Copies of this chain bind each other. A is one copy, B any other.
Amino acid sequence: MDIVIPLFDRFEPLDAIGPYEILAYVPGVEVRFVTDEPGPVQDVFGALPVHVPTRYDEVEQCDVLLVPGGGSHHAMMDDPAFLDWVRRIHAGTRFTTSVCTGGLVLAAAGLLKGLTATTHWNAARALASYGAVYTPERVVRQDRVITAAGVSAGIDMALELTALLTDEATARAVQLYTEYDPQPPFDTGSVAKAPADIVELARSLD
């Protein structure tokens, strides 16, 4: 099985690497990164240049498309040729998926029109502007389109996807191998759980 993750300049590292970590352990899965200009691709913080050798349009088909977000979603959404490619690839995937503001990219490609979907909490209004119905859930599956909420939600989505691509035992084994037994020291991981001053502080980190 062939999973393709487009990485553009200013990508959010965990959006892409969380799912990569989970999916790369699945027997029979190959994960490939693609980009718009092959070579080093910088992340949003600027300390992690990743070498991506493949231009997106060298890929004509894949089983799963996984679009991460971060600062890179603007470049993806402003590139009509890339959005065309997303639509073309989507026609042949088993699953088309996004993490964080990667959901805005699927929306801009017209793939979420009329669908219930999720994205980073701070991008909810933008998602709705493309005709998607935003829901503050962590992972939303509508047939073969799966969207995940912000950043770390890609890990949960990738485990669900693993079960869909293989079976539940494999997904559970990958969860154990990556020791994904989360115990966050605080409980303010969603807007519903965070007081207003923490929401303001979080917005200021952007």
Contact = CB atoms under 8 A, between A and B. Distances in A.
Nearest to A26: B205
B47 A49 contact: no
Contacts of A163: 185-186
Nearest to A49: B51
Question: Contact size class for A?
Answer: 35 or more
Given A13-B21, A48-B33, A49-B50, A175 B156 contact: no
A32 interface: yes
Contacts of A180: 151-152, 182, 184, 189
A155 interface: yes
B176 A199 contact: yes
Interface in A1-59: 12-14, 17-18, 20-21, 24-25, 27, 30-33, 40, 45, 47-51
Counted per complex, copies of this chain come to 2
Interface in A147-206: 149-153, 155-156, 159-160, 163, 168-186, 188-191, 193-194, 197-199, 201-202, 204-206
- For A30, A181, A182, the residue with the greatest tally of chain B CB atoms inside 10 Å of its CB is A181
A73 interface: no
Contacts of A185: 139, 156, 159-160, 163, 171
A85 interface: no
B168 A186 contact: yes
